Amino acid sequence: MINTMNKFFVLSLMYLALACAEKAQKSEFKSSIVATEENEEQLKQSLSSVEKEEQERLKNRSEVQFDRIVHDYGNIVADADYKTVFEFQNTGKKPLLVFDVKTSCGCTVPMWNKNPILPGAKDNIEVTFHPKENQIGLEEKTVTVMTNTDPGITVLQIKANVSARKKS
Protein backbone atom coordinates (compact mmCIF):
# COMPACT_ATOMS: atom_id res chain seq x y z
CA MET A 1 0.00 0.00 0.00
CA ILE A 2 2.75 2.44 0.98
CA ASN A 3 4.78 1.50 -2.12
CA THR A 4 1.75 2.24 -4.35
CA MET A 5 1.24 5.60 -2.63
CA ASN A 6 4.89 6.50 -3.16
CA LYS A 7 4.62 5.65 -6.88
CA PHE A 8 1.45 7.72 -7.16
CA PHE A 9 3.13 10.67 -5.39
CA VAL A 10 6.22 10.51 -7.64
CA LEU A 11 4.10 10.25 -10.78
CA SER A 12 1.99 13.22 -9.65
CA LEU A 13 5.10 15.33 -9.12
CA MET A 14 6.47 14.36 -12.55
CA TYR A 15 3.16 15.25 -14.22
CA LEU A 16 3.08 18.61 -12.43
CA ALA A 17 6.67 19.38 -13.42
CA LEU A 18 5.99 18.53 -17.08
CA ALA A 19 2.82 20.61 -17.12
CA CYS A 20 4.66 23.66 -15.72
CA ALA A 21 7.53 23.24 -18.18
CA GLU A 22 5.13 23.00 -21.10
CA LYS A 23 3.35 26.20 -20.04
CA ALA A 24 6.66 28.02 -19.72
CA GLN A 25 7.63 26.98 -23.25
CA LYS A 26 4.31 28.12 -24.70
CA SER A 27 4.40 31.63 -23.22
CA GLU A 28 5.96 34.22 -25.46
CA PHE A 29 6.87 37.79 -24.67
CA LYS A 30 4.10 40.00 -25.94
CA SER A 31 4.37 43.71 -25.47
CA SER A 32 1.22 45.70 -24.99
CA ILE A 33 3.11 48.87 -25.91
CA VAL A 34 3.27 49.71 -29.58
CA ALA A 35 5.59 52.51 -30.66
CA THR A 36 3.75 55.24 -32.49
CA GLU A 37 4.70 58.77 -33.42
CA GLU A 38 2.34 60.05 -30.74
CA ASN A 39 3.77 58.10 -27.81
CA GLU A 40 7.35 58.70 -29.01
CA GLU A 41 6.62 62.43 -28.90
CA GLN A 42 5.14 62.06 -25.38
CA LEU A 43 8.27 60.20 -24.28
CA LYS A 44 10.51 62.93 -25.72
CA GLN A 45 8.50 65.60 -23.87
CA SER A 46 8.73 63.65 -20.59
CA LEU A 47 12.48 63.19 -20.98
CA SER A 48 12.89 66.87 -21.79
CA SER A 49 10.98 67.78 -18.63
CA VAL A 50 13.16 65.47 -16.51
CA GLU A 51 16.34 66.91 -18.07
CA LYS A 52 15.18 70.46 -17.24
CA GLU A 53 14.46 69.46 -13.62
CA GLU A 54 17.90 67.86 -13.34
CA GLN A 55 19.62 70.94 -14.77
CA GLU A 56 17.75 73.12 -12.26
CA ARG A 57 18.76 70.80 -9.42
CA LEU A 58 22.39 70.92 -10.54
CA LYS A 59 22.27 74.74 -10.64
CA ASN A 60 21.08 74.84 -7.02
CA ARG A 61 23.53 72.38 -5.52
CA SER A 62 26.34 73.52 -3.33
CA GLU A 63 29.58 72.06 -2.00
CA VAL A 64 30.62 71.23 1.56
CA GLN A 65 33.98 70.59 3.19
CA PHE A 66 34.15 68.96 6.65
CA ASP A 67 37.09 69.51 9.01
CA ARG A 68 37.23 65.71 9.49
CA ILE A 69 35.15 62.64 8.75
CA VAL A 70 36.10 60.50 11.79
CA HIS A 71 36.21 61.39 15.48
CA ASP A 72 37.82 58.94 17.92
CA TYR A 73 36.83 59.55 21.54
CA GLY A 74 39.53 57.12 22.64
CA ASN A 75 38.98 55.29 25.95
CA ILE A 76 35.73 56.32 27.62
CA VAL A 77 33.41 55.04 30.34
CA ALA A 78 29.85 53.84 29.69
CA ASP A 79 26.73 55.72 30.80
CA ALA A 80 28.07 59.25 30.28
CA ASP A 81 27.70 61.94 27.60
CA TYR A 82 30.58 62.62 25.20
CA LYS A 83 30.32 65.48 22.73
CA THR A 84 32.19 66.38 19.61
CA VAL A 85 31.65 68.99 16.94
CA PHE A 86 32.12 68.35 13.23
CA GLU A 87 32.79 71.72 11.60
CA PHE A 88 32.09 72.32 7.93
CA GLN A 89 32.20 75.11 5.39
CA ASN A 90 30.00 75.87 2.41
CA THR A 91 32.60 75.93 -0.36
CA GLY A 92 29.98 76.21 -3.12
CA LYS A 93 28.38 79.17 -4.83
CA LYS A 94 24.85 78.47 -3.61
CA PRO A 95 23.39 78.30 -0.08
CA LEU A 96 24.09 74.95 1.58
CA LEU A 97 21.04 73.12 2.88
CA VAL A 98 21.42 70.40 5.50
CA PHE A 99 18.19 68.50 4.91
CA ASP A 100 18.67 65.88 7.61
CA VAL A 101 21.22 64.23 9.88
CA LYS A 102 20.61 60.60 10.88
CA THR A 103 22.59 58.38 13.22
CA SER A 104 23.04 54.62 13.24
CA CYS A 105 22.07 54.29 16.92
CA GLY A 106 19.80 55.95 19.44
CA CYS A 107 22.84 56.45 21.69
CA THR A 108 24.11 59.07 19.23
CA VAL A 109 22.23 62.36 18.93
CA PRO A 110 23.04 65.11 16.39
CA MET A 111 22.16 68.81 16.60
CA TRP A 112 22.53 71.11 13.58
CA ASN A 113 21.43 74.40 12.09
CA LYS A 114 18.33 73.95 9.95
CA ASN A 115 18.82 77.30 8.15
CA PRO A 116 20.66 77.71 4.82
CA ILE A 117 24.42 78.27 5.17
CA LEU A 118 25.63 80.99 2.81
CA PRO A 119 28.59 80.46 0.46
CA GLY A 120 31.86 80.77 2.37
CA ALA A 121 30.14 80.50 5.76
CA LYS A 122 31.02 77.89 8.37
CA ASP A 123 28.76 75.92 10.66
CA ASN A 124 28.82 72.68 12.62
CA ILE A 125 27.04 69.52 13.66
CA GLU A 126 27.27 68.71 17.35
CA VAL A 127 27.14 64.99 18.12
CA THR A 128 26.50 63.60 21.60
CA PHE A 129 27.42 59.95 22.20
CA HIS A 130 26.01 58.24 25.30
CA PRO A 131 27.15 54.60 25.38
CA LYS A 132 25.12 52.28 27.59
CA GLU A 133 26.45 49.59 29.93
CA ASN A 134 25.75 46.95 27.28
CA GLN A 135 27.99 48.74 24.76
CA ILE A 136 31.35 47.72 26.19
CA GLY A 137 34.34 47.44 23.87
CA LEU A 138 34.99 49.06 20.51
CA GLU A 139 31.95 51.04 19.36
CA GLU A 140 31.64 52.64 15.93
CA LYS A 141 28.63 54.74 14.94
CA THR A 142 27.78 56.68 11.80
CA VAL A 143 26.28 60.12 11.35
CA THR A 144 24.77 60.52 7.87
CA VAL A 145 24.46 64.11 6.65
CA MET A 146 22.06 64.80 3.75
CA THR A 147 22.68 68.04 1.84
CA ASN A 148 22.11 69.71 -1.53
CA THR A 149 25.58 68.67 -2.71
CA ASP A 150 26.94 66.04 -5.07
CA PRO A 151 27.04 63.47 -3.66
CA GLY A 152 24.12 64.43 -1.46
CA ILE A 153 25.25 62.26 1.45
CA THR A 154 28.32 62.54 3.66
CA VAL A 155 28.90 59.83 6.25
CA LEU A 156 30.73 60.91 9.39
CA GLN A 157 31.93 58.39 11.95
CA ILE A 158 32.51 58.35 15.68
CA LYS A 159 34.30 55.60 17.53
CA ALA A 160 35.36 54.83 21.07
CA ASN A 161 36.69 52.09 23.26
CA VAL A 162 34.01 51.89 25.96
CA SER A 163 34.70 50.37 29.38
CA ALA A 164 32.25 49.65 32.19
CA ARG A 165 31.72 52.25 34.88
CA LYS A 166 33.51 51.23 38.09
CA LYS A 167 31.14 50.25 40.86
CA SER A 168 31.66 52.13 44.13
Q: Where along the chain do its domains lie?
A: 64-163
Instruction: State the DSSP code for 60.
Output: T
Chain segment 108-167, per-residue pLDDT in tens: 999 999 999 999 999 999 999 999 999 999 999 999 999 999 899 999 999 999 999 888
Chain segment 70-111, per-residue pLDDT in tens: 999 999 999 999 999 999 999 999 999 999 999 999 999 999
Q: Which CATH fold topology does 64-163 show? A: Immunoglobulin-like (2.60.40)
